[in-house]
Amino acid sequence: MLKNIPAILSPQLLKTLCEMGHSDRIVIADGNFPVESVGKNAVVIRMDGHGVPEILDAVLQLFPLDTYVENPVQLMEVMLDDPAETPIWDTYKEIIRKYDRRASSAVGCIERFAFYEEAKKAYAIIATGEKAIYANIMLQKGVV
């Protein structure tokens, strides 16, 4: 056992976070995200019983966000004509504010299909059971 490691972080996820280097990206995906097809070249970590906010909070306790890019956090932009509300984004911004001085200015949005293309280049993708729509979030690792 280790001290001060959030219990939600599995040994596989801890190992993956350690392996990642500067500029590597990790996606924390909602339950609708095509994790296995998009992540066929990535480390896929199953955390189906958990939601994105609790995983995001635990990961950011250990994971420095990249300070050399404007938006080290990317959200999947809502599609035009999609009436989706995204209150989960406010939750993400509150969590990010706890760990990064840039707070919500560290967060950007990219178009849905561009998000999928960028996710294909991610080092790892975490599959969650998150039910909120447009709840996918991509983090770019910085340095300590």
The residue among 116, 127, 9, 124 whose CA lies nearest residue 62 is 9
Which residue of the set 24, 50, 99, 116 is catalytic?
116
Which residue of the set 30, 57, 66, 100 is catalytic?
66
Annotated catalytic residue 66: yes
Annotated catalytic residue 116: yes
Enumerate the active-site residues: 22, 66, 116
